[in-house]
A = this chain, B = another copy of it.
Amino acid sequence: MNIRDIASISGYSVGTVSRVLNGHPSVSDRARARILEVVEEYGYEPNYNARFLKAQSMESVAVFVKGAGNRLFGEILELIQTQLIEAGEEAVVTYLDEDADEVAAAVRYQRIRHPKGILFLGGEPAYFKAQFAEIDVPSVLITNDATGLAFPNLSSVTTDDESAAYQMCEYLLSCGHRRIGIVGGNRSEGQVSGKRLRGATRALQEHGVSFDFDRDFEPCHFTEAEGYDAIANLVMRSRDLTAVFALGDVIAFGAVRAVYDMGLRIPDQLSLAGFDGVSLSQFAVPRITTIRQDVRTIARRGVEILLAAMAGEGGVVHEFVPYQLLKRESVCKL
């Protein structure tokens, strides 16, 4: 069953059938009604490949997710997928390793598949600088700020990581903590963890609290297992810490377990804070004090901005979505 069959059965030409199928305005109501009737009756579905042969582009949005173990991305992805489908777009998602080059993957993908738009969940600015210029479809970077990148087709929606981390540290300081350690992420400037790190250390510095990277910081990936090892190393090394700021909830969750195994009580003997506001954080024992990123809004705006750009409306935008400091049980006053 193809468009030619529908044409001959309905008594109209292939061109008219095509126009009806694509919602073209210049078709008589009579023709439209008759053709839709036939389409309905035979359960005809246009061939997907042929449809976009001419357009050279497929009717879909490519999504690149960096770090499959990242719970936050999982939550955002779920929302994005739903919205894209509601908007009549199909999402093709590709999972990448936390350290993989997402831009190289996107460039390759674009060359082969010609998607209508691209969504990045997580991104390394260095990779964007290196190769994003080769991408010419509308794109949105989610959970990292692309303002500085200044590409004409790259928008971004994210939490102001630096300011949120700054605020968390101010909170820890207000609780009387003066020896604060940090676990998670790495020091590379443009990355999300780098921004959180910067905000956190800036807060400490401005309040006259010393922070020595070699002694008070331990990098790690965003997994429970690495969080476990990282905080163990950190606490062994700097025994006078009274609080530790884990740059992600998943890391914090692994850290909680490690602290228990070291025989310390949270928060009495060590306060612990997270970042992200993933559902896990509110069920952990103790409940983890964290920064709640507004995933619903981030997902919604990310998709809205992309769809608008795909429709040729509105230019590049860079948005910060409000976050929230959730004071729970894992941090205590000194």
Contacts and interface: CB of A to CB of B under 8 A. Distances in A.
A112 interface: yes
A279 interface: yes
A196 interface: no
Contacts of A92: 90, 92
A257 interface: yes
A256 B280 contact: no
A191 interface: no
A91 B91 CA distance: 11
A14 interface: no
Copies in the complex: 2
Contacts of A223: 279
Contacts of A45: 111-112
A330 B43 CA distance: 54
A116 interface: no
B279 A48 contact: no
A78 B223 CA distance: 14
A68 interface: yes
Contacts of A93: 93
B68 A58 contact: no
Given A224-B283, A228-B283, A285-B257, A48 B81 contact: no
Interface string A66-85: 00110000100110011000
Given A49-B58, A69-B78, A78-B95, 5 more contacts: A253-B283, A256-B283, A256-B285, A280-B280, A284-B285
16 contacts: A43-B111, A46-B112, A47-B56, A48-B58, A49-B50, A49-B52, A53-B53, A68-B74, A68-B78, A68-B81, A224-B279, A225-B279, A228-B283, A254-B283, A257-B284, A284-B285
Interface of A: 43, 45-50, 52-53, 56, 58, 68-69, 74, 77-78, 81-82, 90-95, 111-114, 223-225, 228, 253-254, 256-257, 260, 279-280, 283-285, 287
